[in-house]
Structure 1
Amino acid sequence: MRPPLRAVATLAAAAALVTGCSSGDDWSRPHPKQSAIGTLGPGFIDPSAPPTPEATVTPRPGSWTGVHPAKGYRVVLLTAGDDRPTKALVTAVKNWAASEHVDLRTVVADDRSDLIPSITRAIDMSPDLVVSAGNGLVDPLTVVTASHLSQQFLVVGAELAEPTHNVTAVVWPGASFRGEGLDMSSTYDPGSFTSGRCAAAIRAGVAAVLHDLTGMVIWLDDLQLVP
């Protein structure tokens, strides 16, 4: 006895949904390097004097806004801590990912003992980019990133003291933590982590990474930032 046509249609629709979800969520398939959509505007860097490793650059306001990742760009948001600055960064990254149709996964370090294992979990997922949010990750990243030079990292709201070429950072006045016991280039101010600053940081940082401008610190001064 044949099943009713309505039942067949329902089963077919359910199967299509399952297939669609699994194919979209599968990071195990080959994934070519993603190119930028759009180009950096004038003043992001000086083309006649490209930044050297570990250099600090101050891009012209808005020079990164014309750059977007390709749809499906794979990003792991690596985060630790529940302080207000970290929460603001996490929100900015998630909002950016949603607006840019980025395939975003999140790895959360449960406690101090989980900081390095959480970085390892993020690397093992083989994303296009690991974005770090939270000062607690700075020292562990210093230990791990130099051993994984093929993986790109973006640190927002903090920086590594001696980054390798695969680590890019975006900071601004009030957000320049460099690790335990190290001086900062500006006084740390949790209140400086506004939604506008955090949003500018993720967009400027990703724009740099997509154009292979890595291993440097991007400094956004307050004149550039939305309150």
Structure 2
Amino acid sequence: MPHRTVVATSLVATLLLVCLTGCAGSDWSIPHPATTAVGTPSAGFAPAIAPTPEATVMPADGSWRGVRPSPGYRVALLVGDDSSTTTALVAAVTAWASETNADLRTVSGAEDPVAGIVAAMELHPELVVSVGDPLIDPLATVSANHLDVPFLVLGAELAEPTANVTAVDWTGAGYRGEGLGTATHFSEASFTAERCGDAIRAGVAAVLTGMTGVVLWLP
């Protein structure tokens, strides 16, 4: 599936670029069969009692690895900066999309986070994946006003997520917004290829199986 990049220097410019790049691959304006989960999580992925929004869920190690989306899953990857941790997450999401045959498009929100978030939503993806700490505060505002749009945040979390926002964190990650810092001591070294790969897989498994609005804490 094509992997396209959109640079959100402004909302108008972004949408123009979407139009220009949208001719070369699948047309997201055309409905397609709803994406479903292929496979099921292993025991220990979800708690016995469905968690409430804002809860922290600690899935068993690797319990998410048997789940993938059906081919053609439409995902907008929203990138907040060019830090080494964000770059590692982008690489993991890109590799996951290639492996699962997901239809991935990338939107940059580095210069104007709100414009980037809006541009990602305007693509009408089935899931918006957010990477990069600068996006957290803008996402907290925008996502609460667009409850019909599913978001997945990797390596960070919203302080008060709504049911449409799922996050994946681990020891060394967990930025929660300006003035709140991280849930644990930040460690750039914790953003390994394996950890970032597990983050996108566990997060998508949670979204596809309906366990949303929570923070997944990877072991």
Pick the aligned partner of 1:188 from 177, 186, 189: 186
Deviations 1:50-83 (A, max 9, x none): 1111100110111111111010000000002111
Which amino acid is 2:60 matched to? R
Change (3 A) 1:117 1:56: same
1:35 — aligned with what?
36
Deviations 1:101-137 (A, max 9, x none): 00000001241xx100100000011101000010010
Question: Which structure has the highest helix share of the two?
Answer: 1
What does 1:125-144 align with in structure 2 at a 5 Å threshold?
125-144=123-142
Between 1 and 2, higher relative CO (CA 8 Å, sep ≥ 6) is seen in 2
Change (3 A) 1:183 1:80: closer
Counterpart-to-counterpart distance in 1, 2:163 and 2:169: 17
Indicate the SS of the match to 1:151: coil
TM-score, length-normalised on structure 2? 0.87
Uncovered stretches (5+) of structure 2, i.e. residues with no partner: 1-21
State the structure with more CA Rg. 1
8 Å CA contact 2:79–2:110 kept in 1: the answer is no
Counterpart-to-counterpart distance in 1, 2:53 and 2:197: 25
C-alpha deviation, 1:84, in angstroms: 0.4
1:207 — aligned with what?
205
Which amino acid is 1:213 matched to? M
- Once the two structures are aligned, what percentage of the paired residues are identical? 54
Cα root mean square deviation, aligned:
1.4
Indicate the SS of the match to 1:44: coil
Counterpart-to-counterpart distance in 1, 2:62 and 2:30: 35
TM-score, length-normalised on structure 1? 0.84
Change (3 A) 1:81 1:183: closer
8 Å CA contact 2:45–2:64 kept in 1: the answer is yes
What does 1:1-227 align with in structure 2 at a 5 Å threshold?
24-47=25-48, 49-111=49-111, 114-221=112-219
C-alpha deviation, 1:24, in angstroms: 4.6
Counterpart-to-counterpart distance in 1, 2:184 and 2:55: 17
Indicate the SS of the match to 1:25: coil
Indicate the SS of the match to 1:169: strand
Uncovered stretches (5+) of structure 1, i.e. residues with no partner: 1-20, 222-227
